[in-house]
Amino acid sequence: MRALRFFVFISLLAFCSCSSLILKPADFAWPVESVQQVNDSGMVVIPRYSFSFNAKPLFTHELKDSLAYRGKEVRVIRGSQGCYFMIANGFKNVYVFNAGNGGLKLEKKIEISDTTGIQNPAFNQRPPYVQLNYNGKNVNLNKDGIVEEGKK
């Protein structure tokens, strides 16, 4: 009987320790976008947030040129749900990434222009959205895509 109690106690202890702790709500948003130069190795380093990533695959995917990153800047902002939004001059799309397995995983590619790459884009926090400004236009974004005015 004593062995049975000990087994039940150990089982309950193991079961309780397996439950995950979730702290809610949490806001992951960066207050302003970071505009960083891509270095010669293709890396973007954002010291303020101790954040870095390899931008070569992003430029290769968007511009179909493996050397397109040279001399370019990337604009990055983190939304309130923890997703990273990225764009650069000449891009037609905003890329939404999540952290995972020591890298950034593409969650969504949001088409902004179907004809030409946009120039001078800028991100702003407009909770609960990330706002993209370009060519005098403002577009509200979330991790799922473009959010039209009046819809949530």
The number of folded domains in the chain is 1
List the single range of 35-39, 91-95, 98-102 with lowest mean pLDDT. Answer: 98-102
Measured CA to CA, the distance from residue 40 to residue 47 in angstroms comes to 17
What's the whole-number mean pLDDT along residues 87-109?
96
Contacts of 87 (CB under 8 A, 6+ apart): 74, 75, 93, 94, 95, 112, 118, 121, 123, 132
Does the pLDDT at position 150 exceed 90? no
In a domain, 64, yes or no: yes
pLDDT digits (tens, 9 = 90+) for 117-133: 999 999 999 999 999 99
Residue 152, in any domain of the structure: no
Range of the domain at 65: 25-147
